[in-house]
């Protein structure tokens, strides 16, 4: 069932953040959520994920499995890069998952960093661990400004991974970068 927003509104105190938004997401492909800083992109993501409630309106189809890169990395500080990825899988000790996590680390340019702790990673490296972790599990992929702190060379490694994912699952991508929209053939949801 597609995710559908019907007349969604959200206020914080007296401030209107989302106003009467209606949108039907496709079942797969990339939807780029764009708009100026503070416009309500993260708030919309939180409403879709069920972490926040709209004040009015209706949302359907979001009773689904999601895999998320939040605006912050949210890595577990006491776990290594590979342990952080395996932590959110159904079976962290399964050989298949360990192979998959190792391959994903390599794909995001972090080969050899399996046993590195988050505090020993640069901002961009930690961000890539968060992306690899989200890619390691199934579901609708939600990415809130995933490429912040990531250089162009690494962004180009990650784009095809997201593109492949979007061939079977919906990807919701919050971005400020026009190139993300073209590279991923994304539809745009402008806030
Ligand atoms: N929990 C909250 N309480 C009060 N105001 C909030 C809260 N969360 C977000 N806001 C406000 O709502 C607006 C939209 O925030 P956000 O969704 O984070 O914007 P974006 O992700 O587009 O930059 C901002 O003005 C922000 O300050
Ligand atoms: Mg935001």
Which ligand is the nearest neighbour of the Cα of 148? 2
| Residue 63 C-beta-side C-alpha neighbours within 13 Å | 3
Q: Distance between CA atoms of 111 and 42, rounded to whole angstroms?
A: 31
Structure tokens at 67: 């895999």
Q: Outline where 19-122 has alpha helix (H).
A: 41-49, 81-87, 95-107
Q: Atom 10 (ligand 1): residue with closest C-alpha?
A: 12
Shortest CA distance to 48 belongs to which of 24, 74, 84?
24
Q: Tell me: the pLDDT tens digits for 125-173?
A: 999 999 999 999 999 999 999 999 999 999 999 999 999 999 999 999 9
CB neighbour list of residue 132: distance below 8 Å, 6 or more residues apart: 85, 101, 104, 105, 107, 108, 110
With DSSP H G I counted as helix, E B as strand and the rest as coil, what are the percentages for the chain, rounded to 5? 35, 25, 40
Between the CA of 98 and the centroid of ligand 2 the distance, in Å, is 32
Q: Which of 172, 168, 145 is nearest to 30 (CA)?
A: 172
Residue 1, pLDDT score: 87
What the block records as the tokens of 139 is 């579901």
Calculate how far, in angstroms, residue 176's C-alpha sits from the geometric centre of ligand 1: 16
pTM of the model: 0.97
Helices (H), 93-173: 95-107, 123-135, 152-166
Average pLDDT over residues 78-104: 97
**Does the C-beta of 12 come closer than 6 Å to ligand 1?**
yes
CA of 160 to the centre of ligand 1 (A): 31
Q: What is the model's pLDDT at position 34?
A: 98
Strand order in the sheet with 56-60: 15-24, 4-12, 56-60
The helix/strand/coil state of 184 is coil
The pLDDT tens digits for 19-72 are 999 999 999 999 999 999 999 999 999 999 999 999 999 999 999 999 999 999
| Distance from C-alpha of 77 to C-alpha of 154, rounded to nearest angstrom | 23
Query: Which ligand 1 atom sits closest to the C-alpha of 36?
Result: 22
Cα angle for residues 177, 180, 183 (degrees, 5° grid) = 145
């Amino acid at each position: 069932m597609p995710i559908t927003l019907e007349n969604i509104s959200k206020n914080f105190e007296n401030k209107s953040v989302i106003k009467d938004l209606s949108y039907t997401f496709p079942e797969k492909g990339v939807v780029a959520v764009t708009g100026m800083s503070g416009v309500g992109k993260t708030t919309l993501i939180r409403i879709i994920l069920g972490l926040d409630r709209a004040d009015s309106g209706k949302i359907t189809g979001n009773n689904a499995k999601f895999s998320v890169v939040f605006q912050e990395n949210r890595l577990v500080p006491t776990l290594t890069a590979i342990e952080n990825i395996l932590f959110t899988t159904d079976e962290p000790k399964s050989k298949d998952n360990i192979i998959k996590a190792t391959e994903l680390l390599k794909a995001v340019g972090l080969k050899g960093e399996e046993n590195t702790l988050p505090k020993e990673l640069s901002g961009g490296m930690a961000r890539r661990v968060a992306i690899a972790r989200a890619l390691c599990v199934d579901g609708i992929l939600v990415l809130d400004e995933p490429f912040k702190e990531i250089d162009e060379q690494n962004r180009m490694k990650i784009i095809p991974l997201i593109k492949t994912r979007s061939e079977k699952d919906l990807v919701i991508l919050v971005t400020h970068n026009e190139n993300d929209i073209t590279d991923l053939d994304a539809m745009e949801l402008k806030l």
